[in-house]
Amino acid sequence: MPTDRDFVPVILGTGLGAYNLARSLHEAFGVHSVALGRHALRETAHSRIVSVRARPDFNDEQVIVSELRDLAAELAQTHPGAALLLLPTIEHYTNVVLEHRTELDEHYLVPLPDAATAARVMTKTDFYATCAALGVPHPQTRVVDGSLLDDAHLGEDLPFGYPAILKPSDTDLYPRLRFEGHQKVYLVEDAARLREIARRIYRAGYVGDLVIQEYLAGDESVMRVANTYSDRSGRVRFVSVGQVALSEYHPDLVGNNNAIVTVPDPVIEASVRTLLDGIGYHGFANVDVMLDRRTGLWKVLEVNLRPGATAFYTMAAGGVLARAAADELVLGRLVAPFSTTAERLWLNVPYAVARWFVPPSTRGVLRRAARSGRVHTLRYGPDLSLRRRLDIARIDLRHTLDYVRYSRHRLNH
């Protein structure tokens, strides 16, 4: 088995997504990772399998690149001859790596597409045009920018009705803004409300596009996610589809998931392959999909150029997503085609919380999968020191209190 002298995973981020990657690669290869970020979050703190290096200004582009250069020089001394696998976990870090790709490629192996291909996924206008050109089902969409804010009729000529979804296109800048009523996505009931929220977003310092999208009604039962790895030839080699069983209640975290069941889904697999293979994509992709009950079509909402923070659900069903990148880029192995088919449960909350708050529509699939096997990303035997156990208990308590608090809020609204 390779050791941590053969390669070192360098992870940008210190949250759940970072621990997901660190645990996956530790299980697969026995390697220890280094995680860089602004703070030592509880998800990665006090770990035996990942060393965290934090500095408050790590959101600064030049600081990130400088730290990566210095780390590469350090690891060349402490791990001579070891390959360095660079793994961003959020959009901001992904964008920085893409912007400085030429320089970073001198030191790191990077599972990301080239800039032109990345733009076709990251730029919402290009993304939905690409979906249309390739015949991949996607929601009807209108993209607007700040220049339209003075238009008193903004939102009144949409090709679809209300309610509608409003969300920022720039998922790098927007999460770092703070203002009253800040949410990840907004469900707006009419054009007046759309204009009000749009103005609030831009006045807070946002400069990107806004995406207005048809609303696909439904609870977790219409939500699925796919995590994939495409090799350098531009072909999807690994794909795992998960059925969302329980989503996040906290308004700032809407769109995140805390319980996922792996399911076989050849229809979604085919759509994802058509999209990613059609643009010659390379690297990880995290794809959000929703069912349009009016048409029976599973529609692709967006693609992120990284594994999802919840991508450890693939491990629950026996699929080691992170291993695909290490096999190809570090070890030079052909990545064998793989799809998860077993029905297993991944959790980011205590199982009792999931059972209590799961909606009736997904209760059956959650309990059935739990009987076959369940996995919690942070509960990793070789990394359960007393301090880690306390950290995980605090995280679980935070999630539990959030569900109690915001379930009452939901009932009141």
Q: Can you give the CATH number for the domain in which 177 is found?
A: 3.30.1490.20
Residue 279: its pLDDT value, please? Answer: 97
Give the angle 317-318-323 at the CA atoms, nearest 5°. Answer: 130
Q: Are residues 266 and 400 in the same domain?
A: yes
Q: Are residues 262 and 353 in the same domain?
A: yes
> Could you tell me if residue 317 is inside a domain?
yes
Q: How far apart are CA 38 and CA 41, in angstroms?
A: 9
pLDDT tens, the chain, 413 aa long:
445 558 999 999 999 999 999 999 999 999 999 999 999 999 999 999 999 999 999 999 999 999 999 999 999 999 999 999 999 999 999 999 999 999 999 999 999 999 999 999 988 878 988 999 999 999 999 988 888 777 888 899 899 999 999 988 877 788 888 898 888 889 999 999 999 999 999 999 998 889 999 999 999 999 999 999 999 999 999 999 999 999 998 877 777 899 999 999 999 999 999 999 999 999 999 999 999 999 999 999 999 999 999 999 999 999 999 999 999 999 999 999 999 999 999 999 999 999 999 999 999 999 999 999 899 999 999 999 999 999 999 999 999 999 999 886 664 44
> Could you tell me if residue 161 is inside a domain?
yes
Q: Are residues 242 and 206 in the same domain?
A: no
Q: Are residues 235 and 203 in the same domain?
A: no
What is the total count of domains within the chain? Answer: 3
Residue 413: its pLDDT value, please? Answer: 46
> Could you tell me if residue 133 is inside a domain?
no
Q: Tokens representing 377?
A: 């990303």
Q: Are residues 288 and 362 in the same domain?
A: yes
> Could you tell me if residue 232 is inside a domain?
yes
Q: How far apart are CA 289 and CA 216, in angstroms?
A: 11
Q: Are residues 275 and 337 in the same domain?
A: yes
Domain housing 304? 220-412
Q: Single out the residue in 94, 110, 126 at which a domain terminates.
A: 110
> Could you tell me if residue 44 is inside a domain?
yes
In Å, how far are 73, 184, 250, 307 from 258, measured between CA atoms?
38, 16, 11, 15
Q: Single out the residue in 95, 110, 125 at which a domain terminates.
A: 110
Q: Are residues 98 and 170 in the same domain?
A: no
Q: Are residues 244 and 392 in the same domain?
A: yes
Is residue 274 within 8 Å of 266, Cβ to Cβ? no
Q: Are residues 265 and 364 in the same domain?
A: yes
Which residue stretches of 185-319 are H helix?
Answer: 191-203, 266-278, 313-316
User: What CATH number should be reported for the domain holding residue 87?
Assistant: 3.40.50.20
Pairing mode, if any, of strands 236-247 and 223-230?
antiparallel
Q: Single out the residue in 110, 131, 155 at which a domain terminates.
A: 110
> Could you tell me if residue 297 is inside a domain?
yes
> Could you tell me if residue 182 is inside a domain?
yes
Residue 172: its pLDDT value, please? Answer: 74
Local structure of 287: helix, strand or coil = strand
Q: Are residues 320 and 363 in the same domain?
A: yes
Residue 409: its pLDDT value, please? Answer: 61
Q: Are residues 58 and 182 in the same domain?
A: no
291 half-sphere exposure, CB direction, 13 A CA radius? 13
| 129: amino acid identity, one letter | A
Q: Tokens representing 29?
A: 């290869």
pTM of structure: 0.91
Q: How far apart are CA 231 and CA 357, in angstroms?
A: 39
Q: How far apart are CA 88 and CA 11, in angstroms?
A: 6
Q: Are residues 379 and 400 in the same domain?
A: yes
User: What CATH number should be reported for the domain holding residue 236?
Assistant: 3.30.470.20
Residue 107: its pLDDT value, please? Answer: 97
> Could you tell me if residue 121 is inside a domain?
no
Neighbours of 69 (CB within 10 A): 15
